[in-house]
Structure formats: C-alpha cells, structure tokens
Structure 1
C-alpha cells in the first residue's frame, strides 16, 4: 500500500529522486525555495510542500511515478506567467520546468526546438541568430509552454497563424510516465489534443516549431494618446480591419500608467516591413498628434520586449478574456472606457491604476484557414480577442477585481454575442480563469477531448486547471 497524502513526508522526495538530475526543494530550503515558488502574479504564489525542479523528460517521469505511487496532489509550472493559479499549489507538489530552457535551431530545416521551461525571449534570441522567427506572444517573459498549449497569438499571427499552427511536434510525458512524441503522423490524436488543451494530457518537455525567414528589422512601438482621441482611434481600428494585409498588428489599451497615473489610450503598432511603410499604414494615428511616440525600427527579437514594462512581475494580477467584432461604434467603446475608468478612479491612492484593458486587433484570416475541429483549440472565428489585465496589491480586493473583470468583459463582448455557430467559442483559453467551463473554451471539441482523456489519462492525473474529465468507456453486452 502507498502512503496517504496526509502522512507523506515531502522531504523524502530528495532521497526517492536521488538517482535523477532533478533538484527537490522544500520550505526548509530557505531562499532557494522562496525564489522558485515566485510567480508573475503575486496572487498566484502558493507554498508548495515540495518543488521538483526537473532537467529532463526522465526526471518528469520519475516525479510522476512518486505522484502516482503516493497519490500526491501536484501541478506543473512552465514559465509561471498564468494568472489562473494553475501553475501553483498549496500543500502539494510542483513539477517545475524552469531549468529546462535549452533552444536548438536547425537553419536548413528552419525548425526551432525549445525545452518545456523556455520563455519566449529564449526562442526569439536563438532563432534570430539564424535569421529566423516563429509565432510567439507579445511579452517575451511569457512561458513558451503555457502560451503554446493554449493556442498562442503573436505579432506574426496575421502571416502564419497561431503558435499551435506552427507546432510540428512535441515530446510529452504521459500520466503513465511514458515519454512519447506526438505530431501529425505520430500519435496524431494526442497531437490534436495537445494543440489547445495540452495541459490536460501530460507534461510537454520539448516543442518543435516551424521557423520563418526574418532577417529584416520591423517597425513597431507604442503611441500614447489622451482619452479624447478614443473615437478617432476606434475609427482607425475599423479601417485597419479592412485594410491590413496580415503583416500588421494593432493593440489598443486603456490604462493609467505610472508615474503620473493619468488616464491614457495606448496603441501598440507592428508592421513587418520598413518604417516608411509602417508610418504610412498607421498614418491616421500619427495625424492625431500622440502625446508620446516611441515607435521605430527594431530587430524582430526586440518586439516582444516592448510591452515588458507594462507587464512587470510585481503585484497581484488577473487576466480575463472575451471577444469583439469590427467595425465598432466609437460610442460603444467610449462607454466601456468610462466604466473601466470609473472603477479605476474609485480606488484610493491609485491602487489599481496600472490595470489595463486591451483590444487586440490581430488579423485572423490566417487563423481561420484552420477549422475549429482540426485542433482542440476552438477560438477561431471572425472576431478579435479583448482582454483585461487587472493589477492591484491589496489581497482584500481579490474578489472585487474578479467580479468587475467578468462584468466589464461581458459588456465589451456584446458585439460578438451573435457569432455564427461554427465561428468559434469567443473565449481564449489562455485568458480564462479556472472557473470558466471546458465547454466555453473547447466548444464542440469537448466530447473528443474527454474520450482522449480516457485513453491517455484515465485516472485524470492532470486535473489542475481547465477541467476535463475522462469519458467512461461504454461496455455493450
């Protein structure tokens, strides 16, 4: 008989895993333990009973063996960037991939292989040395694993689709501890599930992506406007929706950034081409005389760092997501802005001033070339993502922040409420909190996912996050 969870001594893992290269850290290990349980959001810092910092797929297998044998509650940490709390656990075990950050590039095949604990900075820098890039996020300290397994939008999405659309294969450790490869030709059903619902099926220790030639610099950077410019900015969003050629991306955000904490409208521009072209494409915005213009020509690998300052690691954070359709009525967006700003200003001492609401105009024609049933990811449709990123410091505000975020996103998503049935779910899984149901994220793909859970994880070992349960096999007499 294995020991019960209550009686298990987590410090014994140091002896049990001594033949691996993994490092086992427990609360008695001082600062090293304190450092490894830190997360991008302070609200997601939980005091794990032990952290197993793995360095290989075999280390993961060994850790999962102890999980199964002793029935230990556990979770997996990649980049630690999620705000759902799924990468942390109280009174349980964390399998931590943060020491697996190797990246290899095959310049002839134009492939990029990243270990499970890499962040996008690792990938961008390694690929750039060979004049290559692939579809990553918009902040380079985001984990490759979390963003990829949940879908992945980035500056190159308009040209090449989602991150998962450029995923060629994965190395994954299953609940049984078996290490397998999954691709379109090997374990194809598992590969289907991994692309959108990957956290529910195993621990991915290696990702291989398609790379693309990206030796030229790009035009990118933020413009800052007063709130009075919002109607004209919305009009440009509508125009951009019709005129972009897939090489551009536009993000529009509400915020009150320090040090002034004054309300502004931020726009982040991206054009995969020259500055002359970019300034012409975004000419209507430049004509509005921005308060600040920080745009210019930069190497592609720098682009994912431009928003890092607005996504720093201090404070408690909450991401939430919805969808919107263009064209938008400027008065509708102004109404959402007033609701957002009224809430921000209602808190004393600028307590939530660093919060943001983002309208992500990432071209989706390439995304929609892949049907929703072709991968488990089901958020492909003729709409864009809208997101909240609330930031605060007082734990007493936790519930209020979640409640307001849901309410604001519901209002912002009104324009996408009448999506066609086959147009996607309108909920990006990487922006969803843990209480969002699997049906809302995976839509009609849920049934197949539950069947595959029965095949690959029948005991539902990977249950810390979006809830998918194995569908029991029906026995016909």
Structure 2
C-alpha cells in the first residue's frame, strides 16, 4: 500500500459529495475522535471515518478491502476490550448516525447505529414508550444490543435482543441488507449476540413497550457492616421474583470520602408506596445516603452516570452467581476486593456489582433461539476496575479474572458442560474481554456461528470482537 496520506486522499475522493469526514492525524478533530470511555483503549488510528449513511460504509469497506487495511467499528466507544480502537488501521465511526424514529401506532423504535441510550430513552418517552436498554445512558445502543442487553425492564420483557425486530446491516461485501425473522433469518439469528462479527449495523428496530407512568428508582448507600443484611435481602428478593423490580448491589469506595461502602440500586416499575413496601427491609437497615425517589423512566438510565465517567483506565469483567448466597462468602469476596483496591493508588472508584434482575422472561427463550447463550438459572456479576497507572494493566486483569472465577464457582455457577449446555454459558459477552474464546461466550452455538461467519464474512474482515473463525459448512452424504 502507498503512503498513508496518498491512500486516504483516495478515500476522501470516494466519499466526496457526502457528509462523511475522513480524519487523519493532521486533521482537526482527529484527536477528539480517538477518545474512548476507558483511557487504555485510546489508540492512534491511521484514519477515522465519520460516516453518515449505509452508502458511506459500503464505499469505506470497498476501500479498505482494496488497500488491505484492518478496520474496527465504533459506536458508543464504551467497550473496555479495545475492540472499537485500532493502531494499525481505520475506525468506522458511527457517532454522526444518531437519529431515532418512534412509531407510536406500530409501537416500534428505530435507532441508527451510532445512537446512545439517552437518544432512545428520550425519544420514546415523548410517546409514553420505552424499550429494554442498559443501565448507563451514555452507552452505545449498538454494542449493548449486539451482545445481548440486560436492563431494568428485563424482568418483565426479557433482553434487548428479545425486543429486537430487525436490523439494517452492511456486510463485509458492502451489500446492504435487512435481517429479521423473515429476511435473512440466519443472519438475524447470528447478530442477536454476535453481531459485531458480521457487519456494520446501521439501524435497529425495537419493539416499544408502553411506559406511561414514572418509576421508583435510585441508590441507597450503607456502611460495610450492613453487607450481611443486604445479602439476606437479595436472597429474599430472589424468592419474591417480582418481574417489575430490579436490585443491583455491591461495593465501591466512591468520592468524596473514598471509603468503602455497600451500594444498592433500586428499581420498581410501579407506585412509590408499593416500592417502599417491597424494599422496606433495606430502609430498616439505616442507609447513610438515600437518593431514591420517583423519576421518569427516561431518567433511570442516567442515575449511575456519575459512577461511570470517562476519565481513567477501566476494565470490565463478568461472571455469574446464584441465590441464595451465604453472607459470609460475600463478606470474604468484599475483603479480597477491598484489600486489592486499597493497596493500589487511584482505584477507589472500582466497583463489583451483583445484578439481581429477575431472569424468568430471559429463560423463556431457548439458548439455541439466537447466538446469545447466557440464559440460565443465575444472575450476572459485573466488575469495573478503574485505575490510572498503565503499569497496573496486567495486574488488574489478573486480579479481576481470579476474583470473578472465585465468585462464580463458589456461588454454584461452574463452568462445566451442564452450565454450557442446558443452563447457558454463565458468561455475558458484553462483560468479557479478548481473553475469552468464542466457545466461552457462545457455547454450543459456536459451530453454527462459525459456519455463518464463513457465509457472510469469509475473509474475516470483522475480526476485532469475540473471535469467530470462518468455517465452511461440511455436508455429509
């Protein structure tokens, strides 16, 4: 390939007459375009192409294939695996594609590929509607959806992908297609859980859920001595199995005190008096801070934004846990977590969270119904470690991996054939990093995914997510 300036001058020519931008290191706005939610995912790309349409993407894919340039796709830039950044190639940046269209009569929401959840939540709320989104509203719609998608409405309505009606996607060939239950249905099966491996999704159409009334939500914060009672309440929550409620709980050392606390995040899709009765045991414990209250549903996904700022280096990690749990076991995990965090400078905003979102609706859908394979009799654990010293990168990865393994296995979620088959894999792909295999994330769906990868992306152009190796279908006579 020729010199970088010559090559990308050709791409600018290819995109002339469009509103797309081709940014190279000498361009205004290039440096800002590299920013990601985690600082350790910032990489010096050869070029960033801010596309505005599927046709822009088609032209860009033709260009990179002709010039043999590696690519990644950036939506919200929230991944901590680094899969939306690249140092030896080009970023297809979807941030200029943020239109949301709501059809109140059909009860559908169509969001372009670069939208964030705030865009969707606010547009839907204007019509008294919602859909299953994430828990932080500056997260990209694309990344969360293509990996599965858990949110506050999951208990009543399943995963984000369970409410996905169709996608418009540009394939590696540059072809623009629709994938739905009736059009390219095998591709629709694949994108619901492994979509980042199959193309660039330019729009998502979701089923809209009526949400005309506000909800009760917000954090309660406790001193660490209340952790056993919080675990006891989580066990009770599990037995009650109220689909309109969600409880997230865990520990952090947030500013300004930077001291350890037990965090709980409450959600109740109903009136305040019913919510206060449902969560009464927690108020009886005497929280040191209470930020809960009645809020519009569109506000809920912003309540944890303060704990998810854009500074610092960050590492997602994921595991699974079953309830009931022993308070003593959780106290031991907390002690190990606290010793690590307090022993390394600048890690006080790290977080370990037990996401107790009722999973009955999730389990009503079989693991083989789409590529997503994490449907089972368990909940997700999420960790977000935050630090500033690059020397700690590998130390954090190793500790996070070990802590989550201990939490998952000791809580009864073993990584064996029972979990990987009948019960699902016990690994949420959106919390995983590049140190896990496709088999870890997709379990028994891996073989079919590899065959579909061969059909739709045989040259493995989209190779930066959870790695799938294209494998041709073998027909036995």
Instruction: Report if TM-score (shorter chain) is over 0.5.
Output: yes
Shift in Å, 1:18: 1.6
Structure 1 residue 7, shift from structure 2 partner: 9.6
Report the Cα offset of residue 5 of structure 1: 8.8
Paired position in structure 1 for 2:373: 378
Provide Cα deviations, 1:271-301, integer angstroms capped at 9, x if missing partner.
0001111111011101000000110000000
SS at match of 1:423: coil
> What stretches of structure 2 of length at least 5 have no aligned partner?
none
Query: 1:4 deviation in Å?
Result: 6.7
| Maintained 8 Å contact 1:437/1:467 | yes
Find the aligned partners of 1:93 and 1:44 in 2 and give their Cα distance: 15
The structural deviation recorded for 1:232 is 0.4
State which drifts further: 3-12 or 154-163.
3-12
User: Which residue number corresponds to residue 422 of structure 1?
Assistant: 422
| Contact persistence 1:11–1:50 (CA under 8 A) | no
Q: Quote the Cα distance in structure 2 between the aligned partners of 1:475 and 1:323.
A: 37
Distance 2:175 2:390 in 1: 41
Which of 264, 289, 294 aligns to 2:291? It is 294
Q: Report the Cα distance in structure 1 between the residues aligned to 2:14 and 2:371, rounded to whole angstroms.
A: 36
CA distance in 1, matches of 2:327, 2:122: 39
Structure 1 residue 474, shift from structure 2 partner:
4.2
Q: Distance in 1 between matches of 2:260 and 2:58?
A: 50
Q: CA RMSD in A?
A: 1.4
Q: Secondary structure at the match of 1:366?
A: helix
SS at match of 1:14: helix
Moved more, 390-399 or 110-119: 390-399
Instruction: Give the Cα–Cα distance (whole angstroms) in 2 for the partners of residues 399 and 4 of structure 1.
Output: 36
**Secondary structure, counterpart of 1:413 in structure 2:** helix
| Residues 1:391 and 2:386 are matched in the alignment | yes
Cross-structure match for 1:112: 109
Q: Could you tell me how far apart the structure 2 residues matched to 1:272 and 1:473 are?
A: 46
Aligned to 2:227: 230
Number of aligned residues:
472
TM-score, normalised via structure 1 length = 0.97
1:217 corresponding residue in structure 2:
214
> Contact 1:72–1:93 at 8 Å: present in 2 too?
yes
User: Where do residues 330-341 of structure 1 align in structure 2 (5 Å cutoff)?
Assistant: 330-341=327-338
Which position in structure 1 is the counterpart of 2:399? Answer: 404
User: Residue 168 of structure 2 aligns to a residue in which SS?
Assistant: strand
SS in structure 2 at match of 1:386: strand
1:466 — aligned with what? 466
Once the two structures are superposed, the pairs formed by residues 436-475 of structure 1 within 5 Å of their partners are: 436-474=436-474
Asked if structure 1 preserves the Cα contact closer than 8 Å seen for 2:34 and 2:43, the reply is: yes
TM-score (norm: length of structure 2): 0.97
Question: For 1:260 and 1:93, how far apart are their aligned partners in 2?
Answer: 42
Q: Which residue of 2 aligns with 1:167?
A: 164
Q: Quote the residue 1:65 is aligned against.
A: 62
- CA distance in structure 1 between the partners assigned to 2:5 and 2:111 by the alignment: 38
Which residue is equivalent to 1:431?
431
Question: How much has 1:306 moved relative to structure 2?
Answer: 0.1
Kept after mapping to 1: 8 A contact 2:455/2:472? no
- Contact 1:168–1:208 (CA under 8 A) maintained in structure 2: yes
Corresponding residue for residue 89 of structure 2? 92
- 8 A Cα contact 1:11 1:26, kept in partner: no
What is the distance in 1 between the residues matched to 2:400 and 2:20?
39
